[in-house]
Amino acid sequence: MVFILSYIYTMDNNISYWEKSSFFNYDVIVVGSGIVGLNAAIHLRKSFPNLNVAILESGFLPSGASTKNAGFACFGSVSELIEQEKNTNPDGLYRIIERRWRGLLKLRKLLGDKTIDYQPLGGYELFKNEDVDLLNLCVSKIEHFNYLIKNIVGEDAFSLSNDKINLFGFGRINHIISNQYEAQIDTGKMMFALIRYAQSIGITILNNCSINQINRSKQITVSTNQGQFTCKKLILATNAYIKN
């Protein structure tokens, strides 16, 4: 018995009919496989298990800051919170910090502290002698911020910790404000685990797939260097690359 196999190609990069029907049409496409894109896809898939979700990533690995920052698991130093409070109000800042903290708790619960190498070692803001005005402002705000966020992270988050200067061996540093609730994570391990988790719940991740054009009519068409995708909803999670 002889079997004769025939191949049907589309006009789209020699993609076969079967590849086109299986790999290029989704309910939701997420552009960007960083921490935001992966979590958006995971949230949708867990909320709606029958949803067909794909992530398109332009790089071989996630291209943005998700795996390139220093692994700070933080919600803001005193000086950062002072600046952020200028753009909102105490209630608004409370909600921002709450979202940051809850996001970290959600990540830890999803992947596990050991998996992401979560280490609650605390964080420190350093002040040189010439930073005296900023230091005085920050010290005056310690009690304010401790009271504001105690119901989120716990009591006495911030404190003046000048006794750590000699312990750490810092030169030219005269004052230190510590935050006992800040921590560090290994962002490489975190992203690797997020990718594996996303794939384990049925999310398709396609790498080296750069977006050339997006068209919207009855359905959304996403033209890429690998072919043309269609979807009902599109999420752009590319952060600094959004202008592209």
Which residues, other chains included, contact 195 with Cβ-Cβ below 8 Å and sequence gap of 6+?
A: 33, 38, 205
Kindly report the pTM of this predicted structure. 0.84
- Identify whether the C-beta of residue 20 lies closer than 8 Å to the C-beta of residue 43: no
Q: Outline where 10-161 has alpha helix (H).
A: 17-23, 35-47, 78-86, 90-111, 113-116, 132-149
- Identify whether the C-beta of residue 30 lies closer than 8 Å to the C-beta of residue 37: yes
What per-residue confidence (pLDDT) applies to 171?
A: 81
- Identify whether the C-beta of residue 213 lies closer than 8 Å to the C-beta of residue 227: no
* Residue owning tokens 């220093």: 70
Structural domains in the chain plus CATH codes: 27-67+192-243 (3.50.50.60), 72-185 (no CATH)
Tell how strand 53-56 and strand 204-206 pair up: parallel
What are φ and ψ of residue 126, in 5° steps? -105, 145
pLDDT (tens, 9 = 90+) of the chain, 244 residues, equals 554 444 444 445 577 888 887 889 999 999 999 999 999 999 999 999 999 999 999 988 887 777 777 788 889 999 999 999 999 999 999 999 999 999 999 999 999 999 999 999 999 999 998 999 999 999 999 999 999 999 999 999 999 999 888 888 888 889 999 999 999 999 999 999 999 999 999 999 999 999 999 999 888 999 999 999 999 999 999 988 888 7
